[in-house]
Amino acid sequence: MTETVTKPLEFSAEEYQGVQFDRAEALARSRAFLELMQQRRSVRQFAPDPVPDELIENAIRVAGSAPSCANQQPWTFVVVSDPTVKERIREAAEHEEELLYRERAGEEYLEAIRPIGTNASKPHITDAPCLIAVFEQPWRLEEGGKRKHYYVRESVGIAVGLLLVALHNSGLATLTHAPSPMGFLKEILERPDNERPFLLIPVGYPAPGAVVPKLDKKSLDEIARFV
């Protein structure tokens, strides 16, 4: 029988430079990180204190390190701190949210979000010192033509997760906000044809006395199976 030899894939390679820890340090770091992340909450009341630019830039760099299909990196992060632009975004978002609560949303959806205590008023959009508008790129222009991106929403979702972790690690509060529809973000922020709004994230320090809904997270047994 002739043995079939599988040729290695041809690609440009470099040596992996990941870090490793001994068991004790790994457990200590894991437990400390778990404790940190269990304190993360969605915040809707922000202090006006400015956020150092580097904290935002570094968090976006972390998001940009996320894995993506074929390393296409189909994302754009637009940081908005101009009060006038934030006001325009808030006005457009509240318009869409008013229609959602009044006409578009079914009773089942409204019942599901009732414990969160939200309504069509979105003061956090202008109260937060900055907004990060995340856009997904279903395609890009290359050599005069369109090149399709693959697994776009999965890739951008992973990047957003890393972004939220990085911001929380810096002591910043965030909120994931997805007014529906979000086409106004593309218009206000003058984004190109190959970008679609994915998420709006107010970022800042929590206001003194800020409150959040009292919620429970599912236990490990409820969310995981080990086989």
Q: Is the pLDDT of residue 4 over 80?
A: no
Q: What is the CATH superfamily name and number for domain 43-206?
A: NADH Oxidase (3.40.109.10)
State the average pLDDT over residues 147-155: 97
Q: Are 131 and 201 within 8 A, CB to CB?
A: yes
- Cα angle 15, 20, 26 (rounded to 5 degrees) comes to 160
Q: Is the pTM of this model over 0.85?
A: yes
Q: What integer pLDDT is reported at residue 226 of this predicted model?
A: 97
Q: Is the pLDDT of residue 15 over 60?
A: yes
Strand residue runs (E) in 43-128? 75-80
For 111, the token pair is 């019942």
pLDDT in tens, 86-105: 999 999 999 999 998 888 88
Q: Using pLDDT thresholds of 50, 70 and 90, give the confidence band for residue 8.
A: low
Q: What integer pLDDT is reported at residue 117 of this predicted model?
A: 84
Q: Using pLDDT thresholds of 50, 70 and 90, give the confidence band for residue 126.
A: very high
pLDDT in tens, 47-86: 999 999 999 999 999 999 999 999 999 999 999 999 999 9
